[in-house]
Structure 1
Amino acid sequence: MRTALFIVPLLLTACATPREACMNDVNREVRILDALIGETRENLARGFAVEERQQVRTRRTFCTGRNSDGSRFRFRCDKTSTIKRNVPVAIDLNAERAKLVSLEQRQVQNISNAESGIAQCIARYPE
């Protein structure tokens, strides 16, 4: 989920006007903090965090190959796959609440900074 949150703005920046790109850059920290605030609120609502872990699995199977004369042959081989799993993780709810308060305070300041940055973008790149 986080990956998509960061990739979409990059894709949109590729075809954005200079003004839009400037405004997108100014709002980057606001978007990041929005995502962190949302994640922290979800953790508090659930009572635990969710961590993504990768599990590597190897299974024995049969593969096919070709001899120099063009005939096919089968041999035993291993196929490896990676599975992503969401695992619940215990959190300190009091620390999580304190983190949320801190993030929200930083967000207020970042929004104020972003507003002045957007005004600068508009002045620099009038349409």
Structure 2
Amino acid sequence: MKKTAAFLILTTLAACGTPQEQCISRNTRDLRTVEKLIGESQGNLQRGYAIERYEVTVPDWRPCIRYVPGTKEDPTPRPVSTTCRSWDTEVRTRPRSIDLALEAKKLSQLQVKQRDLSRQAQSVIAQCKAAYPE
């Protein structure tokens, strides 16, 4: 697990790094995704439920300027400071029940996949280091 954590930190930093780091990051994307899913699955099993994310559209009031029609004496529209409603999207969370046995099975399958991807990543990292020496 320590190797995995160190590898994650290295690849996260590689996103904006040297060509070698970019090569490693690009070619280990699946491994990082599987590791993220493993963390999520472990959290679900520890809690006993999943956390579901969903979007809600909510009103958002902001200061703005509106123009009101002018009068007969002065037909030019006048600016008036007021509040305007716009719509914003918020991401909220809520608990969701899960089948714990199914979640444990999914976790074990992800861990097997992680081992396979880690082995593949070793050769990819070596290739990237050979292609882009620092």
Structure-2-length-normalised TM-score: 0.73
1:98 paired with 2:100, answer no
**Alignment size in residue pairs:** 118
Match of 2:130 in 1: 123
| Aligned sequence identity (%) | 34
Shift of 1:102: 0.1
Maintained 8 Å contact 2:34/2:110 = yes
Shift of 1:31: 1.1
Structure 1 22/76 Cα, relative in aligned 2: closer, same or farther at 3 Å? closer
Looking at structure 1, the residues matched to 108 and 20 of structure 2 have their Cα atoms a distance apart, in angstroms, of 33
Match of 1:3 in 2: none
Structure 1 76/24 Cα, relative in aligned 2: closer, same or farther at 3 Å? closer
Q: Name the aligned partner's letter for residue 91 of structure 1.
A: I
Shift of 1:73: 4.2
1:47 paired with 2:54, answer no
Question: For the pair shown, which has the larger CA radius of gyration, 1 or 2?
Answer: 2
Question: Counterparts in 2 of 1:56-95, with a 5 A limit?
Answer: 56-58=57-59, 64-67=65-68, 69-73=76-80, 78-95=85-102
Q: Deviations over 1:51-106 (max 9, x none)?
A: 11111234799964125725234789643232221011111100000000000000
Shift of 1:26: 2.4
5+ residue gaps in structure 2? Answer: 1-10, 69-74
Structure-1-length-normalised TM-score: 0.77
Q: Deviations over 1:19-60 (max 9, x none)?
A: 111111222122111100000000000111001111123479
Structure 1 66/110 Cα, relative in aligned 2: closer, same or farther at 3 Å? same
Looking at structure 1, the residues matched to 41 and 95 of structure 2 have their Cα atoms a distance apart, in angstroms, of 14
Structure 1 72/94 Cα, relative in aligned 2: closer, same or farther at 3 Å? same
Match of 2:119 in 1: 112
SS of match in other structure, 1:72: strand
Looking at structure 2, the residues matched to 65 and 26 of structure 1 have their Cα atoms a distance apart, in angstroms, of 52
Looking at structure 2, the residues matched to 59 and 38 of structure 1 have their Cα atoms a distance apart, in angstroms, of 34
Match of 1:31 in 2: 32
Structure 1 66/117 Cα, relative in aligned 2: closer, same or farther at 3 Å? same
